[in-house]
Every structure is written in structure tokens, then in C-alpha cells.
Amino acid sequence: MTKKAAGEIFSSSSALKILSFLAENSDREFLGSEIQRATSLSRAGVYISLKGLINQGYVIRTQKGRFHLYRLDTTNPIVKQFKVLRNILYLEPFLGKLQPISSMIILFGSAGRGEDAPTSDIDLFVMTMDPASVKEALAAQKPARRIQPVVLTPSEYSQFKETERTFYEEVNRGIMLWEKKE
């Protein structure tokens, strides 16, 4: 069995393909025909999947005139976790570059809570002995979404704990993506 590229798992069924499309565009509403065009699914496949997603509470359907519009229910906790998982998969190539030069990587902020919009930055905390290398590695990647790194050395991190208490707590509520084992 061959290893699929990160994120391909979300296009293995019609419902997941639609959910992924709506997650990428969580700030918008779409006609069924627009979803069909964007996902390259059959008309029947789109409407059957949308009905199931609505019944599960992942998608909201509203009526405007004679049209039905569909959008992601961004308040649903499963949808939020789905968005977090997609964010982590998006970061996977960057993590491979950062791991050799860092000791800890945490996804925090709206992207770590699944509350991010398509235009939101991805907040990433990186602890390293070499901040310049981490910043260079991220700059060389040219991501489609802006990654907003907070890069600190271990000594800066211990000071950060005292001086920036609120921000420190926000980072610690995030998701540990990688930590160097001693």
C-alpha cells in the first residue's frame, strides 16, 4: 500500500471532499452547484452528501429566495477538530524542516482551536537554540497561508513565562506538534 499525501484522506469520499472544501472556505456560503463545480462531484453525490452533513450538524442550509445556500457550521465541536486536523496536516511539511533545529513546536491561537478563517495566520510557537535558522527555514517555504511564528530560546521562554503571562497561557493551551525527546 502506498502512502497517500497528507490531506488526500479528505478526498476519499464525497462527504469528506465537501467538508474539506467548506472548511477551506468557512467564511462563505455556497450554492449546491458551486460546491459541485469546486469538488468535481456528481450533482446527485453532492446533494446526497450535503443532506448527510446537514443531518450530522456539520453543515447549515439556509434559503434565500428560491435558492439553498450551504455553509460549514463553525460552532460544531467536530467541525472545529476537523479544521484543526487540516491545519496540522497543512503544517506537516514545515514541521519536517523545523524538527532538526527546534526543541518544541506548538500550534496555538485560532488555528489551534479550529476557529480560524481562510485568511487567518497560523500561529506557531517554536523553541530553539537557533532562532535565525528557524526563521530562515520558514521564510524559505513560501506557504499559501501566512505562518506567524513566535520563536524563542529556552532562556527567553523562561522569562516569557513571567513577563507575558497571558500570552504564555495561550501558547500552553495550544497543541503540541512536536517535542524533542531528551
pLDDT, tens digit (0-9, with 9 covering 90-100), for 151-178: 999 999 999 888 999 999 999 999 999 9
Q: What is the pLDDT of residues 95-124, one digit of tens each?
A: 999 999 999 999 999 999 999 999 999 999
- How far apart are the C-alpha atoms of 107 and 171, rounded to whole Å? 8
Q: Is the per-residue pLDDT at 2 higher than 90? A: no
**β-strand partners of 178:** 105
DSSP 8-state code for residue 151: E
Work out the percent of the chain whose per-residue pLDDT is above 90. Answer: 86
Domains (range + CATH), the chain: 8-72 (1.10.10.10), 78-179 (3.30.460.10)
CA–CA–CA angle 17, 18, 22 (5° rounding): 120
pLDDT in tens, 54-82: 999 999 999 999 999 999 999 999 999 99
Confidence band, pLDDT 50/70/90 cuts, at residue 45: very high
